[in-house]
A and B are shown apart, each in its own frame.
Chain A
Amino acid sequence: MSKDKIVRMEHGAGGEAMQTLIRDVILKNITNRSAGLVGLDDLDDGATINIASNIHDSERSDEIVITTDSHVIKPPFFPDSNIGRLAVSGTVNDLAVMGAAPLALTCAMVVPEGFELDSFEKIIRSMNAAAEEVGVPIIAGDTKTVDRNGLDSIIINTTGIGIAYEVIRDCGLCPGDRIILTGTIGDHGISLLAHREGFDLNTDLVSDVAPLWNMIRSVIPIRTIEGKPAISAMKDPTRGGLAGALNEMAQKSGTGIIIDQKDLPIRGSVSSACEMLGIDPLEVANEGKAIICVKDENAEEVLSIIRKHEYGKDAAIIGEATDSNSGKVLMRTTIGSMRYVDTPTGDLIPRIC
């Protein structure tokens, strides 16, 4: 199984290979990795910077949340959206799933020589529209151009700063918590693949890219009867899909997760496309969905609020956290048995004998 000692595509695919790269190469070589409650080691959606004690409550302090993401997507324009909307939504969502209101974004772009100016402007306008949607200013930027031989498409990095009254982690899941998925899975990855490769899926499937802060902010204040936060953990299932995100949450939280296949929101067109391509929809990337883990008593309330939002109308409770099978994700399949949902490896390895 020995492979060359070079960076491979899997190293950026959000699966086990990437986690290994991060742990064994990146974390190992960076010495100062924390500025607050959440640091680099946590490998969360973002990190926090502790500024000062909260004036209302000495036990707690507001946290500044910071996150950064480089966006490369081929092609930069895809059904119903483009890299500009993606670059803003991705960063806003990384803040949102940590419970942070976006305060400001910066944007750095690397553009290959020869990129059409019209397209470039279209991208900037889409960035603006997405930022406007959640009311976040874009306050600094950087633009570089490179030789067309060195780069064949635009790269956009966005950094976001947000503020959280109470940081929500991806490791806060407790046994008994219910798991809400805010909409259908696989729309982004499948529509993009179909568009890029020219597969005729015979549908009007489009990407789900969207900034989720407006939807998520409406459920953050919800409390249990005892006054504790209703939301115990959040994550956006981007690269690595739902399978990758749930496994990460289960491992970091030290709980098991059981989901029910019949409750998974998925469009018929996505599910048949996945069957035709031999792709597991649980491993397909999403860009406008969040996994929200909620105390059992608040689950229905949170669900109904999420469903009122346009990005959450297909939301569903897909499962719950368990005491048993710690660190693992199980799915009750539609045929009645259960199977493990594995962290995507980025490889397609047949097993049917």
Chain B
Amino acid sequence: MQTQCRKINVSGVVQGVGFRPFVYNVAIENGLCGYVKNAGNEVEIVAEGEKEELERFLHNLYFKKPTLSQIDQIRTKVFPVSGFSDFSILNSEQDETTNSIIPPDTAICSDCLQDMYNSKDRHYHYPFTSCTNCGPRYSLVSSLPFDRENTSMLEFPLCPECGLDYKIPSDRRFHAQATCCPNCGPVLSFTNGSGDVLASGHDAIIKCSELIDDGSIVAVKGYGGFHLVCDANSDSAVLKLRNSLDRPAQPFAVMAKDVGTVCSFASISADESSLLLSRQRPIVVLDKSDDLSLSCHITPDLHNIGVMLPYSGTHHLLFDNSDTDVYVMTSANLPGLPMVTDNGEALSHLERIADHYLLHNYAIRNRTDDTVIRSVNGRMAFIRRSRGFVPERIELPFPIEPAIGVGPELNTTVTLAKKNNAYISQYIGNTRHFETAQYHKQVVLNLGQLTKIEPGLWGCDLHPEFNTTRFAQETGGDDTVFVQHHYAHIVSLMVDNLLPVDSRIIGIALDGAGYGENGTIWGGEILEATYSGYERTAHLMEQPMPGGDVAATYPSRMLLGMLHDVLEPKELRDLPLYFKHGEPERNIALDQLEKGINLARTSSAARVLDSAAALLGVSHYRSYQGEPAMKLESVAKKSLHNVDLPVKCKRGVLDTTSLLYDLYERTDTYAVCDLAYSIEDTLAFGVAELAISSAKKRNIDVIGLSGGVAYNEHITGRISEVVKDAGFEFITHKKIPCGDGGVSLGQVVVAGSSERIS
């Protein structure tokens, strides 16, 4: 038999996942010689052996790949035989790159947990143990290739024992870049508010769990940033946290010890359970049990609760030592600012919030908030796509030019893309705030470094006052491509469904606010969309917002705007509404409407739901994003029968004033929950009808839904039902958030496939 040689390049998630050791083992098994190395962000293999062995090798390479790896492409070419005497793992090579990327952070694996619980193992009670199959990745790395010196572990040289694990090909810590042990790795310390160390190592865990049990609020440093942690059963601890964060109602996520514990306070489907247990360990939004055992202040007035399971060694050890089996676990950040990632910053920023700190001493390179997923209409929908998923590759249905989408303002992400590959960043937050806008710039830089994509086109929102828009204009200059907000939502939906380049769909974008081409604020739009453009075929009625944004914060004002033309002055004054400044404010808002002073106009669907929430007395103040509409949804869940409300459309405009008026007329006759259900139902039905009529007129057979309102299970379900009943194909999001976290993907695709501006 004749010896042959192949050069094999593998791209995908192939670094930091034990891929080279895996290749080594497979090569040895098949008696091959040669080498494997990281080249840029690919893995390069040169293998020599007999033809059959080489074929078996290639087969195994693909079908036996390591748990965390993902192979996007294998390129093989014939190479001259050079007579290697063995197979070796070579050091990485700095190189220009193609399209591989490091993996996301992953929950500690069962093998590592076993080591952590084995008193004979040197990793006993050591929470930072990890292997090629688990542990933090994206949050640790500052540049490629994924080698120890490019991660935060750089400061922790391997001890001889860890060095040995690292070198033995059969060990699961073989070339695990983040491997460490108590002799060489990071340490935990438990401090008071001034940073004085009260305990370290395993004692820090014991002390910390003790104090959480006693009602303390502890800032715990984790994979991608700090959490604020307290006992979820304790009203006083939860309220203390609410007050100090100045978050009167924003739902807190919890972490439960195990699935059994989750079942004690929430109902959980098989899909939800496997999602909770998945290695990404997202927060899953679950329906609360009727007899919620936890503090009622965790998600006030909502029917659901965000739950996750322990994902780091530290989490497991804390629960082991704690009497508490459910913790509140919320990202540690001041309003508007990014989550805290640095020890010093934590001590100063969280001074008035945290009683104690559980710190570790390695640096977090990429901040990653927890991912939040909710089951909507039988599918899993990303509310926030971050830890565990970022920076996974998103496949594009067609190749585009190197480009970036900088996102909108709130809940923004950025997306870098080139050819068929897009990389959506972690959740960034509200870039209205300067600090978050700075963080946004940092993410653009870091993600650029990790993906090696140099954008030539800059997609941004049409809103002239967004910091992200300005940033794109300043950096992108003439290569800036303005993409209307809802069009970006719809394009992200098309990409998410891998619709081919020549697709045409009717997209329904139901949303809070997006700057429209005509200078009004859109948010209830039916668009005929292709990848190269769109037409607004129908929309919700444009309604006055007395005072602009303040009408979004206080839905009572929005309701006055919607009913102003159809109610008598006395009826408007008699509506049981709340105004921050009392009755004088109602009069001023009515005066504004009368005289047309400082009014903006919006066709937003969210504002319609907000108004209904105000009318039904469900919510009068928005203290967090989506609050009125979310509370409305929770109330509607209790409904037993639907109240019929007529839908009125004229020339592609759904009359939301008459919708609200019809609701108003029935407020004395029906239960609040039934009315809440009806307004959602009727709005959904009306919007679906508009979309169907557009689709018929334009001979289009696919109708899709995107935008933040699509998180509403009832609305999405109803639209889907009506659209499918009419014989159309209905698409929703799969891997991309339907909220503003997905907008940057839409922007990048529009920018990257637009003709270059000359």
Tell me the A residues contacting B by CB distance below 8 Å.
Answer: 1, 193, 197-202, 272, 275-279, 330, 333, 335-340, 342, 345, 347-353
Asked if residues B708 and A335 are in contact (CB atoms below 8 Å), the reply is no
Residues of A within 8 A of B625 (CB): 353
- State whether A200 and B588 are in contact (beta carbons under 8 Å apart), knowing that A348-B600, A350-B600 are contacts in the complex: yes
- State whether A340 and B467 are in contact (beta carbons under 8 Å apart), knowing that A200-B584, A277-B588, A353-B625 are contacts in the complex: yes
Residues of A within 8 A of B437 (CB): 340
Write the chain A residue with the least CB distance to B408. Answer: A353
Least Cβ–Cβ distance between B408 and chain A, in angstroms: 8
- State whether A353 and B511 are in contact (beta carbons under 8 Å apart), knowing that A338-B434, A348-B598 are contacts in the complex: yes
Query: When chains A and B are docked, how far (Å) is the Cα of A247 from the Cα of B592?
Result: 29
Closest 3 CB pairs of A and B: A278-B547, A353-B512, A338-B434
Asked if residues A352 and B553 are in contact (CB atoms below 8 Å), the reply is yes
Interface residue? B93 (CB, 8 A)? no
Interface residue? B585 (CB, 8 A)? yes
Interface residue? B597 (CB, 8 A)? yes
A-B contact pairs, 22 of them (CB 8 A): A1-B462, A200-B587, A275-B581, A276-B581, A277-B588, A277-B598, A278-B545, A278-B546, A333-B336, A335-B334, A336-B335, A336-B336, A337-B433, A339-B432, A339-B433, A350-B513, A351-B432, A351-B463, A352-B513, A353-B409, A353-B511, A353-B625
Residues of A within 8 A of B644 (CB): none
Interface residue? B548 (CB, 8 A)? yes
Asked if residues A348 and B552 are in contact (CB atoms below 8 Å), the reply is no
- State whether A275 and B550 are in contact (beta carbons under 8 Å apart), knowing that A335-B334, A337-B335, A338-B433 are contacts in the complex: yes
Asked if residues A337 and B598 are in contact (CB atoms below 8 Å), the reply is no
The stretch that binds A, out of B136-144, B176-184, B514-522, is B514-522
Contact residues of B between 498 and 533, Cβ < 8 Å to A: 511-515, 517, 519, 521
Asked if residues A351 and B517 are in contact (CB atoms below 8 Å), the reply is no
- State whether A335 and B246 are in contact (beta carbons under 8 Å apart), knowing that A275-B580, A275-B581, A348-B548 are contacts in the complex: yes
Query: When chains A and B are docked, how far (Å) is the Cα of A338 from the Cα of B430?
Result: 12
Residues of B within 8 A of A278 (CB): 545-551, 598
Asked if residues B545 and A350 are in contact (CB atoms below 8 Å), the reply is yes
Asked if residues A1 and B519 are in contact (CB atoms below 8 Å), the reply is yes
In the complex, the number of residue pairs spanning A and B with C-beta atoms less than 8 Å apart equals 118
Interface residue? B337 (CB, 8 A)? yes
Least Cβ–Cβ distance between A248 and chain B, in angstroms: 17
Write the chain B residue with the least CB distance to A193. Answer: B597
Residues of A within 8 A of B647 (CB): none
Interface residue? B595 (CB, 8 A)? yes
Asked if residues A337 and B334 are in contact (CB atoms below 8 Å), the reply is yes
Least Cβ–Cβ distance between B587 and chain A, in angstroms: 6
Residues of B within 8 A of A336 (CB): 334-337
Least Cβ–Cβ distance between A220 and chain B, in angstroms: 34
Interface residue? B602 (CB, 8 A)? yes
Contact residues of B between 418 and 450, Cβ < 8 Å to A: 432-437
Binary A-proximity of B394-435 (CB < 8 A = 1, otherwise 0): 000000000000001111000000000000000000001111
Query: When chains A and B are docked, how far (Å) is the Cα of A197 from the Cα of B595?
Result: 8
- State whether A337 and B337 are in contact (beta carbons under 8 Å apart), knowing that A198-B591, A199-B588, A278-B549 are contacts in the complex: yes
Contact residues of B between 366 and 409, Cβ < 8 Å to A: 408-409
Interface residue? B465 (CB, 8 A)? yes
Write the chain B residue with the least CB distance to A279. Answer: B598
Interface residue? B646 (CB, 8 A)? no
Asked if residues A330 and B434 are in contact (CB atoms below 8 Å), the reply is yes
Least Cβ–Cβ distance between A342 and chain B, in angstroms: 6
Write the chain B residue with the least CB distance to A342. Answer: B465
Interface residue? B740 (CB, 8 A)? yes
Asked if residues A351 and B587 are in contact (CB atoms below 8 Å), the reply is no
Interface residue? B83 (CB, 8 A)? no
Asked if residues B547 and A349 are in contact (CB atoms below 8 Å), the reply is no
Query: When chains A and B are docked, how far (Å) is the Cα of A313 from the Cα of B432?
Result: 34
Least Cβ–Cβ distance between A15 and chain B, in angstroms: 12
Query: When chains A and B are docked, how far (Å) is the Cα of A193 from the Cα of B591?
Result: 12
Asked if residues A353 and B591 are in contact (CB atoms below 8 Å), the reply is no
Least Cβ–Cβ distance between A283 and chain B, in angstroms: 11
Residues of A within 8 A of B409 (CB): 351, 353
Residues of A within 8 A of B436 (CB): 337
Q: Which of A197, A333, A335 contacts B591 (CB 8 A)?
A: A197
Residues of B within 8 A of A340 (CB): 434, 437, 467
Query: When chains A and B are docked, how far (Å) is the Cα of A330 from the Cα of B336?
Result: 15
Least Cβ–Cβ distance between B744 and chain A, in angstroms: 14
Residues of B within 8 A of A201 (CB): 584, 588
Query: When chains A and B are docked, how far (Å) is the Cα of A207 from the Cα of B437?
Result: 37
Query: When chains A and B are docked, how far (Å) is the Cα of A351 from the Cα of B513?
Result: 6
Residues of A within 8 A of B585 (CB): 276
